[in-house]
Amino acid sequence: MQFISAVIHKPKLLILDEPFSGLDPINVELLKEAVIDLKNQGTSIVFSSHRMDHVEELCEHLCILHKGKPVVHGELKEIKRSFGKKNLIVHADFSVEFLKGYAGVLRYKTVAEGCELQIESETVAKEIFTELNGKGFVRKFELEEPSLNDIFIEKAGASYE
């Protein structure tokens, strides 16, 4: 009801503070669609959330605050590209444990089919690709920009460690 009353008059500016809090997955999706429709109709939306997956899905420009001060701000695409680090997903029919200590691997996480890595650069991905060649069947080798969650944890979470 609050959302409907806020948008019924087609505002030029809409401020949403943790709008998905307490919603079940179906209503989260419905609200996301409504927010996207409003954006497409020209409404400017200021959106506050701790859910980085929602921010990543809905926002083009963002600002991450830590203790009231901006630690990251700008266009989402540019923030992700300029972070420097990349995520690499490797699923293979052989053990990839040897990548734990590989030069340029910053974080290693075992998953059911292989591993997820945080690496320093695309150059490291190329080196790992060459290293995997001939060891067996590689089912997935995917290089991604870091998630906004990764960036948030590094920029705002450092003081909690």
The candidate with the shortest Cα–Cα distance to 61, out of 51, 49, 47, is 47
Nearest to 10 by CA among 42, 54, 48, 47: 42
Range from 19-23, 147-151, 157-161 carrying the lowest mean pLDDT: 157-161
| pLDDT at res. 123 | 94
Domains of the chain: 2-80 (3.40.50.300), 84-144 (3.30.70.980)
Lowest mean pLDDT among 84-88, 95-99, 140-144: 84-88
